[in-house]
Amino acid sequence: MLLGDFNMILRAAEKSNNNLNRTMMNRFRQFVDDQELKEMYMHGQKFTWSNERTVPTLTKIDRVLISVDWELENPSYLLQALSTRVSDHAPLHLSTSANFCPKKRFRFELFWNRMEGFEDAVREAWVCDASIVDPYKRLDALLRNTANHLQAWGQRKLVNVKTLMRVATWVIHKLDVAQENGILQREEVWLRRTLKHSLLGLAALERTIDRQRSRLKWIKEGDANTKLFQAVANGRRTKNYIPYIKHGKEIITDQERMVDTFTEVYKQLMGTAHAREHTLDLQFLQMEPKELSSLEEIITEEEVWQVIKEMAPDRAPGPNGFIGAVYQ
Nearest residue to 122 via CA among 130, 113, 114:
113
Residue-level pLDDT at 212: 58
Instruction: Tell me what pLDDT residue 126 has.
Output: 92
Query: Would you give the DSSP letter of residue 16?
Result: S
Model pLDDT for residues 70-80, shown as the tens digit of each residue: 887 887 888 88
Burial of 77 (0-12, 13-18, 19+ CB in 10 A): buried
pLDDT of residue 4: 47
- The answer to whether residue 1 scores a pLDDT higher than 70 is no
Percent of the chain as helix, strand, coil, to the nearest 5: 45, 10, 45
| pLDDT, mean of residues 284-297 | 82
Give the residue with greater pLDDT, 101 vs 265.
Answer: 265
Specify the pLDDT at position 59. Answer: 92
Q: Strands 42-43 and 92-95: what pairing?
A: unpaired
Asked whether the predicted pLDDT for residue 328 surpasses 50, the reply is no
Does residue 185 carry a pLDDT above 80? yes
Q: pLDDT of 266-288, one tens digit each?
A: 888 877 777 778 888 878 888 88
Residue 8: pLDDT band with limits 50, 70, 90:
confident
pLDDT at 151 (0 to 100): 86
> Measured between alpha carbons, how far is 220 from 207 in angstroms, rounded to an integer?
10
Helix/strand/coil for 240: helix
Question: C-alpha dihedral over 212, 217, 219, 223, to 10 degrees?
Answer: -10
Q: What is the pTM of this model?
A: 0.49
In the chain, the percentage of residues whose pLDDT exceeds 70 is 82
Res 86 pLDDT > 50 = yes
Burial of 238 (0-12, 13-18, 19+ CB in 10 A): buried
pLDDT at 264: 87
Give pLDDT tens digits for 148-182.
898 888 877 776 677 888 888 999 998 888 888 88
2-95 domain in CATH 3.60.10.10? yes
The tens digit of pLDDT for each residue in 110-141 reads 778 777 788 899 999 999 888 998 988 998 89
Q: Which residues have CB under 8 Å from 81's CB, separation 6+?
A: 42, 43, 44, 45, 48, 62, 90, 91, 92, 93
Cβ burial of 255 (10 Å; 0-12, 13-18, 19+) is: middle
Confidence of residue 5 (pLDDT cuts 50, 70, 90): very low
Q: Give one word for 247, left, alpha or beta, with left for phi > 0 and alpha for psi -120 to 50.
A: beta
Residue 214 has pLDDT above 80, yes or no: no
Q: Which of 25-29, 155-159, 193-197 shows the lowest per-residue confidence on average (mean pLDDT)?
A: 155-159
Domain boundaries, the chain: 2-95, 110-240
Q: Is the pLDDT of residue 232 over 70?
A: no
